[in-house]
Structure 1
Amino acid sequence: MTDVSEGPAWRQRAVERSIRAVRQRAEQRVQRFLDTAQELIAEKGTTDFTVQEIVDRSEQSLRSFYQHFDGKHELLLALFEDALATSAARIREAAAAEPEPIQRLKVAVEMLYESSRPDPDVQRPLFNDFALQLLVKHPAEVTAAHVPLLTLFTELIEDAAKEGTISSDRPRRLAALVMQTTMFTAQANGAAIAGHTTPVTAEEVWRFCIGGISDRPAKSRPARKK
């Protein structure tokens, strides 16, 4: 029996079409705010700008801005999340080109390391400034923003574990440990540690990570030649 409360089909189509149009306009306004913020970051080399600057540059209203964002913090968080999602997609695509699971994981670790390293010639205030503030004040938001990367690394570790290459115990936790080791090592790269100033390489980070999550006992690995 037809539920008459839903109304005729033509009415439903008209409402759905209207909703799609409203959603599309909203998405376009949001994207203009995001693009404008990116422009300001690129020009200033910092996230130190005001909401009014974003509104004026985007030629939209302050009312429209606050319809979509609670404030500047939420706007920057959106940019941060987008950047991490884009990075995860890029790493996933590169890793997929490798035939072996362990090689896919290696590619992912090395790419994450290289993309996390500070570059003196490239200003990255969204990661160097804003991300540090997030980590201190809003750790839950940092965790949520890294979900695409964490999901990717968990999948790669699960695939490698199926072949018995690495430990199959709590792959999501292992993924988090590998990511944290890789990113924090990259961000500290170049700092003098115990008198060693030679930068750590992506290959060294990979060997360290695989050594920590390998399912083989350390004594079974051949000694490195000096």
Structure 2
Amino acid sequence: MTEASEGPAWRRRAVERSIRAVRQRAEQRVQRFLDTAQEVIAEKGTTDFTVQEIVDRSEQSLRSFYQHFNGKHELLLALFEDALARSAANIRETALAKRDPLQRLKVAVEMLYESSRPDPNVQRPLFNDFALQLLVRHPTEVAAAHLPLLVLFTELIEDAAKEGAISADRPRRVAALMMQTTMFTAHANGSTFSDHSTPLTAEEVWRFCLGGISGQPGGPHPDREE
């Protein structure tokens, strides 16, 4: 299509400005809904709230809410994805402060374990309540939400493999298995099939994962530089 067939330049500029303005207003409305929902979750310590509560508190309309979200589930999913993205960024920053690739991976596993573990002193309803519901009902959305973490763990495993610390022929698959093992163990810690007197630690989970990817019990190089 030629420039002439698209209309005068001034018309295109006017339309583009209008679209940008509409998009900006929509983004601001969405953010108000997200911020309000986050406040309500923090106050209640649970995801047990209604859409109408969020609408009233955000001082927006129900019609506006449903223009942007298909329901409460999509609102929570947006918060869940944002929280996981921030968690991945935090883990990345902390892990990359280590010089040794194997220690970077260790930090990532231990941080993921601690952030996934139920803690009576820390309210994490998005992870402890909603995440489990999401896993059962919408596994595809769970996979998409965890993509930033999967990318990070894949990179860390590839780096460790390049240094000869571990062997990883399929790093992305290994990363997924490591993440699932870490998060499931964290959620299950203290359940009926675990030892209540001696709860599992992040170090134990790391040693188990390392043994799996190295083929050696406890993993190689136990005295590598921290």
TM-score w.r.t. length of structure 1: 0.91
CA–CA distance in 2 between the matches of 1:101 and 1:207? 15
Is structure 2 residue 110 aligned with structure 1 residue 110? yes
Structure 2 counterpart of 1:4: 4
Tell me how far 1:9 sits from its aligned partner.
2.9
CA–CA distance in 1 between the matches of 2:138 and 2:219? 43
Structure 1 counterpart of 2:89: 89
Structure 1 counterpart of 2:179: 179
CA–CA distance in 2 between the matches of 1:124 and 1:59? 26
Question: 3-state SS of the aligned residue for 2:5?
Answer: helix
CA–CA distance in 2 between the matches of 1:121 and 1:2? 63
CA–CA distance in 2 between the matches of 1:97 and 1:5? 54
CA–CA distance in 1 between the matches of 2:175 and 2:195? 30
Matches within 5 A, 1:1-226: 3-191=3-191, 193=193, 195=195, 197-214=197-214
Kept in 2: contact 1:178–1:209 (CA 8 A): yes
In structure 2, the CA distance between the partners of 1:218 and 1:158, relative to structure 1 (3 Å rule), is same
Question: 3-state SS of the aligned residue for 1:47?
Answer: coil
In structure 2, the CA distance between the partners of 1:122 and 1:218, relative to structure 1 (3 Å rule), is closer
Tell me how far 1:141 sits from its aligned partner.
1.1
In structure 2, the CA distance between the partners of 1:70 and 1:221, relative to structure 1 (3 Å rule), is closer
Tell me how far 1:111 sits from its aligned partner.
0.7
Unmatched 5+ stretches in structure 2: none
CA–CA distance in 2 between the matches of 1:132 and 1:220? 31
Corresponding letter in the other structure for 1:180: Q
TM-score w.r.t. length of structure 2: 0.91
CA–CA distance in 2 between the matches of 1:74 and 1:160? 37
Kept in 1: contact 2:210–2:218 (CA 8 A): no
In structure 2, the CA distance between the partners of 1:107 and 1:195, relative to structure 1 (3 Å rule), is closer
CA–CA distance in 1 between the matches of 2:119 and 2:200? 14
CA–CA distance in 1 between the matches of 2:122 and 2:3? 60
CA–CA distance in 2 between the matches of 1:162 and 1:93? 20
Question: 3-state SS of the aligned residue for 2:48?
Answer: coil
Tell me how far 1:184 sits from its aligned partner.
1.2
Corresponding letter in the other structure for 1:52: Q
Question: 3-state SS of the aligned residue for 2:150?
Answer: helix
CA–CA distance in 2 between the matches of 1:191 and 1:123? 18
Question: 3-state SS of the aligned residue for 1:22?
Answer: helix
Kept in 2: contact 1:191–1:197 (CA 8 A): no
Tell me how far 1:8 sits from its aligned partner.
3.1
| Alignment deviations for residues 70-107 of structure 1 (CA, whole Å, 9 cap, x no partner) | 01111011111111111001101111111121111111
Higher deviation after alignment, 122-131 or 57-66:
122-131
Unmatched 5+ stretches in structure 1: none
Kept in 2: contact 1:154–1:175 (CA 8 A): yes
Tell me how far 1:153 sits from its aligned partner.
0.4
CA–CA distance in 1 between the matches of 2:221 and 2:157? 23
Kept in 2: contact 1:112–1:183 (CA 8 A): yes
Tell me how far 1:43 sits from its aligned partner.
1.8
Corresponding letter in the other structure for 1:30: V
| Alignment deviations for residues 6-27 of structure 1 (CA, whole Å, 9 cap, x no partner) | 2333332222222111111111
